[in-house]
Chains A and B, each alone.
Chain A
Amino acid sequence: MITINNLLVQYDEHIVLNYLSASFETGQVHGIVGLNGAGKTTFFNTLGGYQRADAGEIRLSGKKPSRSDFAYLETNSFFYASITGREYLAIFPQSNASFRLDSMNSLLGVPLDELIEHYSTGMKKKLALLSVIKRDKPVYIFDEPFNGLDLESNKVLELIIRNLAAKGKTIFISSHILEPLLQVCQQIHYLDHGTFARSYLQPEFGSISGHLFDLLGKEMEEQIGRAV
């Protein structure tokens, strides 16, 4: 179980994670949805150890986690200039014994011997994905992994996530599009104003779209009412 207690993250006066508390079952795929600015990326950054929390604690199976427990695919990965994709991947030590770069790349088709600055957005995303899955970690975080991917790579990513889940890994995914989350997640959590407003289990997925659009619609109406 991953337990989060009263997590507070703020930038100056602006509170992003508002004493967030939640529990996530390990070995499951958790989808995180929410409007822009709801705090999804900050939540992932804090969970993955990329962002220090101002208060609160995170526990992984009852213990204080280490950054090395997490593999994190960021929304926008940064790549050092003038190095090739293969050189970039070599920077990360391989801990996933079953990872075969050539086999995996035959599915993704990343031009590994080209300079990364020549890559398209989708290619960069796939390269970052390769760097994440070559590491064997108990928890994987994918922030907007489907952004920029073509249809075929979307399918490959879905299969990778299913494969990791089958190995007992805990996976967190966010997406602006609900459809892929419905395909791969066991639970979907709705993040609103820095706290989890609601969680949906798989049997409730049929109604999730309606619920979410109701919630979002109400919020939008309120915002428009305040603005106009």
Chain B
Amino acid sequence: MFVLLHIRLIQLRRILAGLGLFYSLLVLSAALLLIIFSYFGYRHAPDSYYLSGGVVLALLHIHLNRKDKVFISRHLAPAWLLMSVEYLAFSLPFTLGMLASDQWYLYPLFVIAVLLLSRLTLSYRSKTRYVFLGRIIPARLYEWIAAGRKTFPLFILLYLASFALCGVKSAPLICLWLINGILCAAFQENESLALLYSRHRHAKTFLRDKIRSYLMIQALLFLPPLLLASFFIPGWIGIHISFWFLQMLLLACTITLKYKSYEPAAPSGSSVLMSIVLLSGIIPFLLPLPALLLAWSYPKALHQLNRYFYDYD
């Protein structure tokens, strides 16, 4: 019953061990913050209903996307129960707040929903969509071709919304922040050495060009809605400039974090840090974090890349 959970805990322990004490504490603090936020979210209906529904939808999305479902159902039994235990354990930062609030009665309903969704044997089937993205985005920016393809309708809807809502003070900023989240999430997979070496011979030029090209595309995307928003709300020009600067920092920081722990053709070892950096864009006291992490991780990324961009001795 706890086999999967045991494996996940081993994986989590290894991730935390790889992060070191400071970042482990940061991750645990983020989990604690989630518990506190969810507690306040669950205090009143109908917010509590939306929050519970949101967590169930997120779990459903994870369940439909998980690639080990067939393996688990073939080799481990009962698969649905193992997966339910896993979901219930990892949703604790969201559900502990629910149990501690007056809306505790939602928890049994939540458990039933998890048990039901775990029995679903359906999976999303990926299709080749939006081939045109490869024609409008340069091939060397393949991370964003992939990100655009994975999230295309949502991506374009958010972008259109950032224009449509530019008369509403913070709405375009939220849309653009979400878009930046999609773009930053694209850096959670490490490329092979063949891709790393495809256009550059030195770590320094590689990293500089990578950051510069992505910042340029980001500016092309973000400046039109921000300019329009500044036209409608002139008093917010300073906020829009600061916001753009922050999004640039978030993106540059995500890229350097990726290469700080680069291992060829492996998932990024900095995924957790990247998520914290992205969240720092909306949590005021974490705002200096991307700048600090960028300054810290840039030389480390160069050092790590130099392990691969070495010359023949």
The CA of A186 and the CA of B80, in the complex, are separated in Å by 57
Contact call B131/A82, Cβ cutoff below 8 A: no
Q: Secondary structure at chain A's binding surface: helix, strand, loop or mixed?
A: loop
Q: Which of B128, B131, B139, B201 contacts A67 (CB 8 A)?
A: B201
Bound: A131/B193 CA distance, A? 13
* Stretch in B142-150, B154-162, B216-224, B280-288 touching the partner: B142-150
Contact pick for A93, options B189, B199, B312, B313, CB 8 Å: B199
Report which of B126, B140, B313 forms a contact with A52, defined as CB distance below 8 A. Answer: B313
What is the predominant secondary structure among interface residues of chain B facing chain A?
Answer: loop
Distance between A119 CB and nearest chain B CB, rounded to angstroms: 11
Which chain A residues lie closer than 8 Å to B201 at the CB level? 66-68
Q: In the complex, are the beta carbons of A67 and B199 less than 8 A apart?
A: no
Q: Mark B292-313, 1 if CB is under 8 A from A, else 0.
A: 0000000000000001001111
Contact B264 A78 (CB under 8 A): yes
Contact of B198 among A79, A92, A118 (CB under 8 A): A92
Q: Is B312's CB under 8 angstroms from A91's CB?
A: no
Instruction: Select which of B146, B265, B307, B313 is within 8 A of A82 by beta carbon.
Output: B146
How many A residues, CB 8 Å from partner? 35
Whether A65 and B312, one on each chain, are in contact in the complex, defined by CB atoms closer than 8 angstroms, is yes
Establish whether residues B128 and A118, one from each chain, have CB atoms under 8 Å apart when the complex forms. yes
Most chain B C-beta atoms within 10 Å of own C-beta, residue among A58, A87, A115, A128:
A87
Could you tell me the distance between the alpha carbons of A88 and B139 in the complex, rounded to whole angstroms? 7
CA distance A164 to B127 in the complex (A): 36
Query: Which of B145, B198, B199, B311 lies in contact with A83, CB distance below 8 A?
Result: B145
Q: Chain B nearest CB: distance from A79 CB in Å?
A: 8
A72 to B264, CA, bound (A): 15
Number of B residues, CB within 8 Å of A: 31
Interface residues of A in 48-68 (CB under 8 A from B): 49-50, 52-53, 57-58, 64-68
Q: Are A91 and B198 in contact (CB under 8 A)?
A: yes
Interface check B21, CB cutoff 8 A: no
Cβ < 8 Å to A, chain B residues 262-281:
264-265
Q: How far is the CA of A79 from the CA of B198 in the complex (A)?
A: 13
- The interface bits of chain B over 113-157 (1 if a CB of A lies within 8 angstroms of the residue's CB, else 0) are 000000000000011100100100001101101110110000000
Say yes or no: is B192 at the interface (Cβ < 8 Å to chain A): yes
Given contacts A68-B201, A90-B134, contact A80 B194 (CB under 8 A): no
A117 interface contact, C-beta 8 A: yes
Answer yes or no: B195 CB below 8 A from chain A CBs: yes
CA distance A53 to B312 in the complex (A): 8
List B residues at the A interface (Cβ < 8 Å): 126-128, 131, 134, 139-140, 142-143, 145-147, 149-150, 189, 191-195, 197-199, 201, 264-265, 307, 310-313
